[in-house]
Amino acid sequence: MSEEKLLSFEGTDFKFVAAYNAYTKLFQESEDEEKKSRLNELINNLHTEQISYSEFYSKVNEGTHDERRRFHRSKINTSRKFAYRKEEQKTDRIRRHK
């Protein structure tokens, strides 16, 4: 028996639509029937709010050991408008006189 996608919906919830897109991509890439049924179970649990989004993504990505896809929050360096303008003027001045 071939596994089929479970849900089809007209969603307006952005987080669920993103999770559903991730589910669809993995479902289409997967050849293993067991993995497809596990994906169906996970998306169904998410839809019925039995698991959270973070749990869904961690369980979906359990089989992949790709560190590039892991969520990582990097620090954003900021500067004040005055300091930014001063730095830009300095680099423009250096560029002009080279």
pTM, entire model = 0.55
- The total of other beta-carbon atoms located within 10 Å of residue 20's CB is 20
Q: Each residue's pLDDT tens digit in the chain (98 positions)?
A: 455 555 555 667 788 888 888 888 888 888 888 888 898 899 889 888 899 988 988 888 876 655 555 566 777 778 888 989 999 999 999 999 97
Q: How many CA atoms lie within 13 A of 56 on its CB side?
A: 24
Q: What is the pLDDT of residue 88?
A: 93
Please report, for the chain, the start and end positions of each structural domain, with discontinuous segments joined by +: 1-67
C-alpha 68, offset from chain centre: 11
Report the sign of the C-alpha dihedral through residues 25, 28, 29, 32, in that order. Answer: positive
Q: What is the radius of gyration, based on Cα positions, of the chain?
A: 23
